[in-house]
């Protein structure tokens, strides 16, 4: 069965980096790894996605293991606004079913 | 404004009543999805649609009906609401599905309470 595992929570001080791991050992070789974050009372918001190589955008960086069985979302300088639940996700079939991890609650301390 | 909107934002209904949750997107995305989010279960796929008039079941479809006569709209109907359908419902859309090289865009959700 497809499975995605993430730690329940992580804590960081403001302005410090945060590394959020995700294991997705059954992902196929052609499916992209996605990351979303969810603020309270809002829908999930797209953060970043990638296939094999590392990816950067204005929100975060995504480091993908060479075997693609895991990835790490990197928030370079955490701010209080980054406090949210972060989900990794990937497509488990061609019909649109995304497998979401249970999410990691990020707590940022001033 | 471009985007994906859900209505209503909050809904309280009684057991046995029919209720429809609306979802509208302005991007002309082909794929649309309905998820429910419950504590302890994360995001679970109810139904999805690859295009107008093409829909299929997801992980937890029982008790729900969808239709998609127009690309931009994807309503979700609870034919006879039950307390177990109390949840937060999210609609999402995306442009492409091949390998998922396109992000999902979510609405802000509908919080449904069935009494």
A101–chain B nearest CA distance, Å: 8
A59 near B CB under 8 A: no
pLDDT at A27: 82
* Helix (H), strand (E) at residue A63: strand A61-64
CB contact under 8 A, B42 and A102: yes
**From the CA of A92, how many Å to the nearest CA of chain B?**
9
Q: How many CB atoms lie within 10 A of CB A66?
A: 8
Tell which of A36, A44, A71 to mutate to test the B interface (max B CBs under 10 Å).
A44
Closest residue, chain A, to B33 (C-alpha): A96
Say whether residue A40 is in contact with chain B using an 8 A CB cutoff.
no
Asked whether B12 and B113 are in contact (CB, 8 A), the reply is yes
The top-scoring range by mean pLDDT among A21-25, A40-44, B5-9 is B5-9
Contact B101 A34 (CB under 8 A): no
CA distance linking residue A4 with residue B47, whole number of Å: 21
Classify burial at A80, counting beta carbons within 10 Å of its beta carbon; exposed 0-12, middle 13-18, buried 19 or more. exposed
Query: What does the pLDDT read at residue B14?
Result: 97
- C-alpha angle A19-B98-A3 in degrees, rounded to nearest 5: 45
Residue of B nearest to A101 (CA): B42
Q: Report yes or no: A31 and A52 within 8 Å, Cβ to Cβ.
A: no
Residue-level pLDDT at B80: 97
**A84 alpha carbon, distance to own chain's centre:** 11
A39 in contact with B, Cβ within 8 Å: no
CA distance A50 to chain B (A): 8
Cβ–Cβ < 8 Å for B26, B74: no
Closest CA to A59 of A97, A20, A99: A20
Hey, is the C-beta of A103 within 8 angstroms of any chain B C-beta?
yes
> Which residue reads 């046995």 in tokens?
B16
Structure tokens at B61: 């479809």
Residue pair A79/A109 in contact (Cβ under 8 Å)? The answer is no
Alpha carbons B53 and A107: distance in angstroms, whole number = 43
- Residue-level pLDDT, tens digit, chain B, 115 residues: 569 999 999 999 999 999 999 999 999 899 999 999 998 778 999 999 989 999 999 889 999 999 999 999 999 999 999 999 999 999 999 987 676 788 899 999 999 999 9
Please judge whether A43 and B107 are an interchain contact, meaning their C-beta atoms are less than 8 angstroms apart.
yes
What are the pLDDT digits (tens) for B30-60?
999 999 999 877 899 999 998 999 999 988 9
């Amino acid at each position: 069965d497809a499975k995605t595992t993430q730690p329940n929570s992580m804590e960081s001080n403001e302005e410090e980096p945060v590394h959020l791991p995700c294991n997705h050992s059954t992902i196929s070789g052609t499916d992209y790894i996605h990351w979303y974050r969810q603020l309270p009372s809002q829908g999930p918001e797209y953060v970043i996605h990638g296939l094999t190589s590392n990816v950067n955008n204005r929100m975060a960086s995504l480091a993908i293991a060479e075997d693609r069985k895991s990835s790490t979302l990197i928030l370079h300088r955490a701010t209080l606004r980054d406090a949210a639940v972060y989900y990794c996700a990937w497509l488990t079939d061609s019909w649109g079913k995304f497998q979401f991890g249970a999410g990691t609650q990020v707590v940022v301390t001033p | 404004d471009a985007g994906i909107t859900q209505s209503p934002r909050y809904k309280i209904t009684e057991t046995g009543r029919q209720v429809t949750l609306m979802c509208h997107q302005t991007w002309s995305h082909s794929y649309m999805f309905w998820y429910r989010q419950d504590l302890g279960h994360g995001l679970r796929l109810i139904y999805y649609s690859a295009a107008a008039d093409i829909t299929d079941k997801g992980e937890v479809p029982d008790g729900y009906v969808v239709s998609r006569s127009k690309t931009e709209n994807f309503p979700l109907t609870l034919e006879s609401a039950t307390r177990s359908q109390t949840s937060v419902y999210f609609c999402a859309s995306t442009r492409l599905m091949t390998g998922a090289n396109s992000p999902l865009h979510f609405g802000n959700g509908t919080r449904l309470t069935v009494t």
